[in-house]
Structure 1
Amino acid sequence: MEIGIDKIGFFAPHMYVDMTNLAVARGVEPEKFTIGIGQSQMAVAPITQDPVTLAANAALEILDEEDRAQIDMVLFGTESGIDNSKSAAVYVHHLLGLKAEARAVELKQACYGATAGIQLAKGHIALHPESKVLVLGSDIARYGLKTSGESTQGAGAVVMVISAAPRILALDNDNAFLSNDIMDFWRPIYSEQAFVDGKFSNEQYVHFFNEVWKQYKEKTGNDLADFEAICFHLPYTKMGWKALRTELPNADESTQERLKANYQISTAYNRNIGNIYTGSLYLSLLSLLEQKEDLQAGAKIGLFSYGSGAVGEFFTGTLQPGFQRMLKKTDHENLFATRRELTVAEYEKIFEETLPKDGSTIELDIESDPAAICVAGMQDNKRLYINKEHLIEQK
């Protein structure tokens, strides 16, 4: 029985800041951002969007009534969750109107959370082939204004429906994975911003890729030549390239050129959204699927997932016949085309807007946010969520 990605979609806030403008405002050469880390634009989340609403909006794009009837598990990978007890998955389950007979759980291991969700979903589907699992990767990366990590911020969510007989990507069962207790990136519960040892984290990312790739080759006998493309977790778009280039010299020239070209295609969306933590790898996959026009069914795709702290995994899948029909390329083109560019001053003001830390009541202006699902405010220490589409149906 084949199990894999049946549907995939993503959502990002309706605002962004241009990285060249941000560099100038910070007294940095623009090429440091646009070439050095490979970022052009950075999505900016308004106060009316959080990881729950980003994920729910992304899911609205792809779910139909058949999905709602068959989804009996919601797995939410995030490292910017909103509650230390209640899972973000429960909120999304309600906002999407999924059936009550379902499990809903939040998963945390830095940027690896969504990958963990996929692997757990595969096991569930193997036992219950009639079921579907909704896997969400949603985060808002925040390091603070004028910090060293500011240029690798971002916001967005990727969602996937995992099922038997998948129509996009059938996942193989030859995964290679590795865990090691390291302190390259972490965020204690008392801190609003993460701590990072940047040089060490970059080194560990490459090291983990090398190790799981070696393990994968020994397990399967496959090599780089067997892949049409390899997608990477991308906190910034140059990160994956640092890992890939360490292995490319072991391939023939045509394989090197193919993988380099397809790597660049796979970074297109990430370059203009920024870092979305748990969803970054799958935004890279989506970029490849929608931007490479001659991608063919039967092509083998490699995926490298990395979550600081750290867990890494290399796994693979095969594109299915007619996979293009399951994509939402036009919707995603519209999402990018309709975003509003912010000045650096506007971005800074929006960044400083946060929900009350003392649980006090606040009502937010959701009319200024075009998204269907928004944070409407807070009351009695509870976030209030609104699904505008549901309100329209009720009227």
Structure 2
Amino acid sequence: MIRNNSLFSSIGIDSMGFYAPRSYIKLRDLAIERKVDPNKYKMGLMALEMRVPEINEDVISLGLKAGYQALLKGEIDPKSIDALFVGTETMTYAVKSISNIFAELLGISPNSFCQDVYNACAGGTLALLNAIALVEKDIIKKALVISTDISSYTLGSPSEPTQGSGAVALVISKNPRVAVFSEKFGKVSGNVDDFFRPANDKNAQVFGHYSVDTYLDFQLKAYDDLIRNIGDFHADFYTFHAPFSKLPIKCMQQIIQKRWIKHINNLPRLNRNQITTSILKKLDAFMHDITVLPEWLYLKLKERGYTSEALESVSYKLIRNVKGKVLPQLRVPSHFGNMYNASIWAQILYILEEYSRV
């Protein structure tokens, strides 16, 4: 939802589907069971619930239901799908592609490309880029991209409250009915030892503080690369991968502090009619411990001649931007938990369904 229409291609999302397990754990109950202050999860992680798969559910069953929803809602003939790509980090088989399983169960044409993209959190997006490239070159007409994952950590570990599960399916084509993609992207990659899952172990291992620092560093680098490619921009919403909901807030704070502050007086005004007031009221509680302008920044601006009234106005403006542009979609990870590859696309799906305009 960037406002420069010249950036957009003719390729995008023609239909979409979502599925998550029905079972969930209230993190307040988990906190009490673990003898932890519930506010550590509610305020520290901005997490309320996490979805837990049933004993008979796995990433195949989750992704299958999301894929079926995408085809059904868009009234799309499965035989018209030329490629089926899967993004996941929940490996089911050592070498067998689960995209082929989806293709058979969904009735996709046998004359189609099938591929799994295994990558921590980025596999779904990389699979989507594969689909965009093939559609752009007219090698295929339509692709079904399924991002499906189950996030699992050792019981009682610090990462336990950041589990979750879910799947998103997107049908990609030219002249789509839902949304179009940009022709340019920001990108960054690196070899970082912050997160891994040992072979034959369903539980991932993560180095918490180091992983958070890495997340923030890479998000800022990707943002900078995007700016280099498309120039300064203002979007209606800013959506980030969310291992837990507080991280995108930290990411937005970083962008504001390190990149936006030089344009402080030119921040776009929010159209309040676009944002449901009740949602913001419910989320206000999450904002009381979030200082968008840290003390060092206050002092720096004061040195530049900002009065106390001006500083208060700046702080208010920034907080309103964060609330309106980042918080609404964070209802998804706060209630479903970490869906790994499906995380960012579930938030985008939520935005498209709740706020898109024709």
Equivalent position amino acid for 1:87 in 2? S
Aligned-pair CA distance for 1:218: 2.1
Q: 2:268 and 2:182 mapped to 1: Cα distance?
A: 25
| Equivalence for 2:285 | none
Equivalent position amino acid for 2:216 in 1? V
**Among 187, 193, 211, which residue is 1:183 paired with?**
193
**Among 241, 247, 252, which residue is 2:255 paired with?**
247
C-alpha RMSD over aligned residues: 1.6
User: What do residues 315-338 of structure 1 show as CA deviations (whole Å, max 9, x unaligned)?
Assistant: xxxxxx3xxxxxxxxxxxxxxxxx
Equivalent position amino acid for 1:30 in 2? P
SS at match of 2:114: strand
Q: Please identify which structure carries the higher strand content.
A: 1
Aligned-pair CA distance for 1:115: 0.2
**Among 91, 108, 113, which residue is 1:103 paired with?**
113
Matched, 1:40 2:48: yes
Q: 1:130 and 1:73 mapped to 2: Cα distance?
A: 7
How many corresponding residue pairs? Answer: 293
Equivalent position amino acid for 1:50 in 2? D
Aligned-pair CA distance for 1:290: 2.7
Report the TM-score when normalising by structure 1.
Answer: 0.71
Q: 1:141 and 1:110 mapped to 2: Cα distance?
A: 11
In structure 2, relative to structure 1, the CA distance for the partners of 1:180 and 1:130 (3 Å cut) is: closer
Aligned-pair CA distance for 1:92: 1.0
Aligned-pair CA distance for 1:104: 1.2
Report the TM-score when normalising by structure 2.
Answer: 0.78
Which structure 2 segments of 5+ residues have no match?
1-8, 270-317
| Equivalence for 1:122 | 132
Which structure 1 segments of 5+ residues have no match?
297-320, 322-395
Mapping of residues 1-395 of structure 1, within 5 Å: 2-64=10-72, 66-128=76-138, 131-223=141-233, 226-249=234-257, 250=260, 251=264, 252-254=266-268, 256=318, 257-292=320-355, 295-296=356-357, 321=358
- Tell me if structure 1 keeps the 8 A contact 2:13–2:173: yes
Q: What is the identity percentage for the equivalent residue pairs of Structure 1 and Structure 2?
A: 29
Q: Please identify which structure carries the higher helix content.
A: 2
Q: 1:126 and 1:184 mapped to 2: Cα distance?
A: 35
Aligned-pair CA distance for 1:160: 0.5
Q: 1:113 and 1:46 mapped to 2: Cα distance?
A: 24
Aligned-pair CA distance for 1:194: 1.3
Q: Which moved more, 1:114-123 or 1:244-253?
A: 244-253
SS at match of 1:179: coil
- Tell me if structure 1 keeps the 8 A contact 2:67–2:169: yes
Aligned-pair CA distance for 1:259: 4.3
SS at match of 2:145: strand
User: What do residues 224-283 of structure 1 show as CA deviations (whole Å, max 9, x unaligned)?
Assistant: xx2111111111111111111111241445454234323111111221111110000011
